[in-house]
Chains A and B, each alone.
Chain A
Amino acid sequence: NAGVTQTPKFRVLKTGQSMTLLCAQDMNHEYMYWYRQDPGMGLRLIHYSVGEGTTAKGEVPDGYNVSRLKKQNFLLGLESAAPSQTSVYFCASTKSGVRYYEQYFGPGTRLTVT
């Protein structure tokens, strides 16, 4: 199993450009998440999905959109990139159910907006 994969690993954008980050998981997990991690701020939830075709806002959703057309994929879009979106982005997935389960993280995407 590859677990959670993210593409690309690195990207540099100019202000105003758009891009899509792709997250894929092969563990048949229902729930998927997008986080950003900034120095001194920790991991913050951007958007999440509890199943195919559903998405919801997290703590810091402004400037981002997401889609979950297939269960194994979760896309994060930046429509008009801003320098404040320079960050490391992590995707994670976990099982659903009444118990609580650990989250599996991808390797991250380092995005710089100039």
Chain B
Amino acid sequence: SQKIEQNSEALNIQEGKTATLTCNYTNYSPAYLQWYRQDPGRGPVFLLLIRENEKEKRKERLKVTFDTTLKQSLFHITASQPADSATYLCALQGGYQKVTFGIGTKLQVIP
């Protein structure tokens, strides 16, 4: 069955450093991969989408890579700030715009 793996343990990082979150998947050949941010008590908010033929996508301090051979996406936040503290969800796109989500990785940026 299709499976998305994100490091369920929290990631603690010092302010100003680059945070790197990992998303691995199996039994899936997604054409698109998305990343969302979720704050406590709120719904997920879309951040970035990357297509299978794109190796890398950037948006301000965010960078996403997509390696379909390794079946892995890396999500980077450069110059991290305490306001970046949240849970980050990886999601794979299927038909009818259906999205399968990972359980998310909680990021804590320490001042």
- Interface of A toward B, CB cutoff 8 Å: 4, 31, 33, 35, 40-43, 45, 48, 50, 56, 58, 90, 92, 94-96, 100-108
- Cβ-neighbour of A104 out of B8, B46, B104 (below 8 A): B46
Q: Is B62's CB within 8 Å of the partner chain A? A: no
Q: Which 5 A/B pairs are nearest by Cβ-Cβ distance?
A: A105-B43, A102-B46, A42-B103, A43-B101, A100-B32
Separation of A96 and B98 alpha carbons in the complex (Å) = 11
Contact A48 B103 (CB under 8 A): no
Can you report 29 residue pairs joining A to B where beta carbons are below 8 Å apart?
A4-B43, A31-B96, A31-B97, A40-B8, A40-B103, A41-B103, A42-B89, A42-B101, A42-B102, A42-B103, A43-B44, A43-B89, A43-B101, A48-B98, A56-B96, A90-B43, A95-B97, A100-B31, A100-B32, A100-B97, A102-B49, A103-B44, A103-B46, A104-B46, A105-B43, A105-B45, A106-B43, A107-B43, A108-B41
Query: Given the complex, which residues of B lie within 8 Å of A41, measured CB to CB?
Result: 103
Contact A48 B96 (CB under 8 A): yes
Separation of A81 and B98 alpha carbons in the complex (Å) = 26
Query: Given the complex, which residues of A lie within 8 Å of B96, measured CB to CB?
Result: 31, 48, 50, 56
Contact B104 A42 (CB under 8 A): yes
> In the complex, given contacts A103-B46, A108-B42, what are 18 additional A-B residue pairs having Cβ atoms less than 8 angstroms apart?
A4-B43, A31-B96, A31-B97, A42-B102, A43-B44, A43-B89, A50-B96, A56-B96, A58-B98, A90-B43, A90-B44, A96-B97, A100-B97, A103-B44, A103-B99, A105-B43, A107-B42, A107-B43
Separation of A95 and B96 alpha carbons in the complex (Å) = 10
Query: Given the complex, which residues of B lie within 8 Å of A95, measured CB to CB?
Result: 97
Query: Given the complex, which residues of A lie within 8 Å of B18, measured CB to CB?
Result: none
